[in-house]
Amino acid sequence: MKDKNEAKNRYESEETEITGAEPNQVKKAIRMSIQEKLPLLDNLTELVIYHDKEMRIVWANRTATESVGLPLEKLVGHYCYKVFHQRKEPCENCPVIKAWKTGQPQEEEIISPDGKIRFVRGYPIRDENGDINGVLEIDLEITKTKLAKELFRSLFLSSPIGIYIIQDGKFKLINPQFQKITGYSKEELLDMYSLKLVYPEDRDLVRKNAIKMLKGESLSPYEYRITTKDGETKWIMETVISINYGGKQATLGNFMDITERKKLEAQLLQAQKMEAIGTLAGGVAHDFNNILTAIQGHAELAMMNIDKADPLYRDLNQIHRSSLRAADLTRKLLLFSRKQSIEIVPLNLNRIVDDLLKMVHRLLGEDIEIHTELAPDLWTVQADRGNIEQVIMNLVVNARDAMPEGGKLTIKTENVRIDNRYCKIYSYAHPGNFVCLSVTDTGSGIKKEIIRKIFDPFFTTKGEGKGTGLGLSVVYGIVKRHEGWVNVYSEPGEGSTFKIYLKVAVNLKPEEEADFIISIKDLKGHNERILLVEDDDELRKFSSTVLTENGYIVYEASNVKEALNIFEREKGDFNLIFSDVVLPDDTGLALVEQLLSRRPNLRIILCSGYTDNKVRWPVIKEKGYRFLQKPYSITDLLRTIKESL
């Protein structure tokens, strides 16, 4: 409305300027415009203005007259730059004037004083003799269009998402982020066939989706891999639509680099898989330990009562040895499932490596050279000694099997400081001080696709009967339980390095260990009364037999309710309670707490195949209860009972 009022004011102030024009000329011009121009130009959305040689308006279409709120009759004879461009003199680089001077069509962007941007074109009009007798101005306000283009350009150039246009299978337009993701320059990408970037195995997927999109079918974002200029494989999530580009059908696409997200998904899937299998493994091992304790124990009992020269002794000894191997297998399952109780103490890994070297030499044989690089001032770690020994031995066995023709094995320890930059590369790591234990072989190496599977339980590349597939999964389980992590570096034909990272113990020194040897004759009881609570019938009978034959008076119960009844019946006259942790109707912890409330001086021993959250292992340690891990031997059982009493 303001523009229209200003135009009216300009018209009134200039009215005296055109009174000198001959009325017949004005009428003739108007008549000509109505008759010849109006049918073609009056309905255009652009402003169309016809000028004479003096730059005065001869004719204007409806859009032009409505833009200033004046009828055509009131505009004829006025200067366009005053009425439409709010200026006292022609615009700089006016295309109308340039068209008069050059005799050629001209165009310019004109910015009016109020900030509006207009795209103005001037077309010279010639008479039958070829002489210019006027200029047709076509004027379009492009303020919004211009801003939209600038906004699009800004977004296109600064977008964190790769944007491109493909036509006839080739790239026609790409933004800087697209170049960054692919590693190619703009010059290299333009007119490159788009499928060249796509990972070979994913090209069919991309091709089929492109066909669907060009047919007009809706297409959800989809994922595929590309190969960058330097050969790196990246995961991409892409969205595409069909557009008109330069008058031809084309594809407008944007894609995001989701490689890191894919890595995180793979790590999460691996963790979930390991957790699920670990739960299953732990449950199997727990039940199996009860059976093994009975088998191992009865074999020991029989061996104690038979002469070593008897042929049966050899068979019994073989049964006993087989049960020990089975116990070792369940121990590996429990380590993998992270459900075996461990004793965390300050340790020096150099000392453990030194202690194991003799065994390692026997294990590797003469064809493999052993080399150690042990840091002289190695920091102390907090770990379970037995677990760490198993990690080292499993890695050594794995290295040996990778070098069937011989080679070199290197065990190295070093102090390392992990920073945030490292953690960005390895998302499972965390910053701080760590001790790194590495085992390197010069063997056949590991293929990239195999590395992702080597920590899976029961996965093995060895032949049938040559491995359980638990060696590296046990390593994984132990290290994770110690809040550390494992990194693997390997190339086919170049050997492998396994690096174990364990957190440093603060202000603690390694404990000295002492061997404990005792004769079974010294473990006999003197009629002490024991309440034995075990839900496994075979194991309960075995334990009762061992204790009875070695001088103890034993009362048996298979659950908490039965144990409480016996305790009441015997008026609490017991020296020791020996109970399984997990019982059918409650926990061994709940039972001993009830019994201790009635007789505080009772001695307590708890046992289990494993201790999970349900049995509250921290509470067992806090209360100071003795704990016996299944499967246990006769000596272990008698010694633990004797020490408790």
Higher pLDDT, 443 or 41: 443
Residue 501: pLDDT over 90: yes
Question: Confidence class of residue 458 from pLDDT cuts 50, 70 and 90?
Answer: low
pLDDT recorded at residue 41: 77
Q: Domain spanning 2-143 has what CATH number?
A: 3.30.450.20
Residue 516: pLDDT over 50: no
Average pLDDT, the chain: 81
Mean pLDDT lowest among 114-118, 382-386, 500-504, 542-546 = 114-118
Higher pLDDT, 596 or 307: 596
Q: What is the mean pLDDT of residues 169-185?
A: 92
Instruction: Give the DSSP letter of residue 56.
Output: B
pLDDT recorded at residue 143: 64
The reply to whether CATH 3.30.565.10 applies to domain 345-503 is yes
- Please check whether residue 106 is in contact with residue 121, taking contact to mean a CB–CB distance below 8 angstroms: yes
pLDDT recorded at residue 579: 94
Q: Domain spanning 159-257 has what CATH number?
A: 3.30.450.20
pLDDT recorded at residue 30: 43
Residue 566: pLDDT over 80: yes
Write b or e for each residue in 371-404: b if 16 or more Cβ atoms lie within 10 A of its Cβ, otherwise e: eeebeeebbbbbbbbebbebbbbbbbbbbbbbbe
Residue 462: pLDDT over 70: no
Q: What is the mean pLDDT of residues 636-644?
A: 90
Residue 214: pLDDT over 60: yes
Higher pLDDT, 403 or 386: 403
pLDDT recorded at residue 188: 93
pLDDT recorded at residue 227: 93
Q: Residues near 480 by Cβ (< 8 Å), separated by ≥ 6?
A: 338
Q: In the numeric block, which tokens belong to residue 388?
A: 């760490």
Domain ranges across the chain: 2-143, 159-257, 262-324, 345-503, 520-644
Question: Confidence class of residue 340 from pLDDT cuts 50, 70 and 90?
Answer: low
Write b or e for each residue in 326-363: b if 16 or more Cβ atoms lie within 10 A of its Cβ, otherwise e: bbeebbbbbbbbbbbebeebbbbbbebbeebeeebeee
Higher pLDDT, 568 or 620: 568
Backbone CA torsion sign across 152, 156, 162, 166: positive
Mean pLDDT lowest among 213-222, 233-242, 555-564, 569-578 = 213-222
Question: Confidence class of residue 44 from pLDDT cuts 50, 70 and 90?
Answer: confident
Residue 13: pLDDT over 90: no
CATH fourth-level superfamily of 520-644: Response regulator (3.40.50.2300)
Angstrom CA distances, 512 to 211, 348, 619, stand at 72, 10, 26
Mean pLDDT lowest among 91-100, 226-235, 268-277 = 268-277
pLDDT recorded at residue 343: 67
Per-residue H/E/C for 573-632: CCCEEEEECECCCCEHHHHHHHHHHHCCCCEEEEEECCCCHHHCHHHHHHHCCEEEECCC
Question: Confidence class of residue 334 from pLDDT cuts 50, 70 and 90?
Answer: low
Residues 66, 226: Cα–Cα separation, whole Å: 56
pLDDT recorded at residue 336: 53
Q: What is the mean pLDDT of residues 320-349?
A: 70
Higher pLDDT, 5 or 444: 444
Residue 9: pLDDT over 50: no
Q: Do the domains 520-644 and 2-143 match in fold?
A: no
pLDDT recorded at residue 36: 57
Q: What is the mean pLDDT of residues 219-245?
A: 91
Question: Confidence class of residue 206 from pLDDT cuts 50, 70 and 90?
Answer: very high
- Please check whether residue 476 is in contact with residue 488, taking contact to mean a CB–CB distance below 8 angstroms: no
Q: What is the mean pLDDT of residues 248-258?
A: 90
101-121 tens-digit pLDDT: 999 999 888 877 777 777 888
Residue 260: pLDDT over 90: no
Mean pLDDT lowest among 76-90, 179-193, 511-525 = 511-525
579-630 tens-digit pLDDT: 998 888 888 999 999 999 999 999 999 988 764 555 566 788 788 889 888 8
Question: Confidence class of residue 636 from pLDDT cuts 50, 70 and 90?
Answer: confident
Question: Confidence class of residue 329 from pLDDT cuts 50, 70 and 90?
Answer: low
Question: Confidence class of residue 193 from pLDDT cuts 50, 70 and 90?
Answer: very high
pLDDT recorded at residue 463: 45
